Amino acid sequence: MNIKKIVDLSMPITSQTPVYPGDPKPYIEPAATFAQNGYHVSRLVLGSHTGTHVDAPFHFREDGLRIDEVPLTYFLGKGIVIDVTKKNNGEAVTLDDVTAYLPQLEPGMIALFHTGWSQYAGTERYFRHPYVAIDVILAMLERGIRTFFIDALNIDPPDGSSFPAHEAITAANGVIGENFTNFDKIDFANPYIIALPLYLPECDGSPVRAVAVELDSY
């Protein structure tokens, strides 16, 4: 098995990284410097959903799996890029938009909703993203999908009025990933997706370094 190409799907974490309204803003500063200490160490202040991240079921369910309890197999596997780039501000991704993809879904695959919204990161428009309608989520859960990634701030409506996708996915002990990038650069079939969380016992989510890998076979 050889790696032919790697696409970084991660958003850089800086003090300018957009966060969901009310979440902690990232803060990074030197804790030790080479000039003063002979080595470099940085102090990181981050929310568990900073930048490109994954949500554990515990994020929305008191009885849900914590991030360290979710099987690691949920964070890596064959991905399918679902092109919904024609959606506009606050518009729903509907069953009609994904009908052609449903027959391709198999248990264990990772659904990648490509809205194209990552291009707006750092602007006000990033907070007016499309979202995935609940009937789409239910149809995919029925087909054995348990991992859902999107290249936007939130898989649910941008007004924060309801969280049906979060509630349905976490009720199935599934995983949500948000703030992904570069789905447009996955220009090969059968991408192998890796988005492993940090080992954070009892936590509700984690930033990830996510990649799509083109392999000669798997």
Q: What confidence tens digit (pLDDT) does each residue in 89-98 have? A: 999 999 999 9
Q: % helix / strand / coil in the chain, to the nearest 5?
A: 20, 25, 50
Mean pLDDT, range 13-39, rounded to an integer = 96
E-only strand ranges, 74-158:
76-83, 92-93, 110-114, 131-132, 147-150
Mean pLDDT, range 42-48, rounded to an integer = 97
Band of pLDDT at residue 175, cut at 50, 70 and 90? very high
Domains of the chain: 3-19+47-215 (3.50.30.50)
Q: What is the CA 7 to chain-centroid distance, rounded? A: 15
Tokens of 139: 């149809």
Tokens of 43: 């102090």
| pTM of the model as a whole | 0.96
Average pLDDT, the chain: 97
Mean pLDDT, range 124-153, rounded to an integer = 98
Model confidence at 217: pLDDT above 80: no
Which helix (H) or strand (E) segment holds residue 53: the answer is: strand 53-55
- Nearest in space to 105 (alpha carbons), one of 147, 58, 67: 147
Report the alpha-carbon angle 60-64-65, nearest 5.
120
Residue 212: phi and psi, rounded to 5, are -110, 130
Report the alpha-carbon angle 6-131-113, nearest 5.
25
State the pLDDT at residue 218: 65
Model confidence at 99: pLDDT above 80: yes
Q: What confidence tens digit (pLDDT) does each residue in 69-85 have? A: 999 999 999 999 999 99
State the pLDDT at residue 1: 73
Q: Which residues pair with 214 in a beta bridge?
A: 5
CA distances from 122 to 14, 16, 44, 84, 173 (A): 11, 7, 20, 21, 31
- Nearest in space to 75 (alpha carbons), one of 9, 26, 135: 9
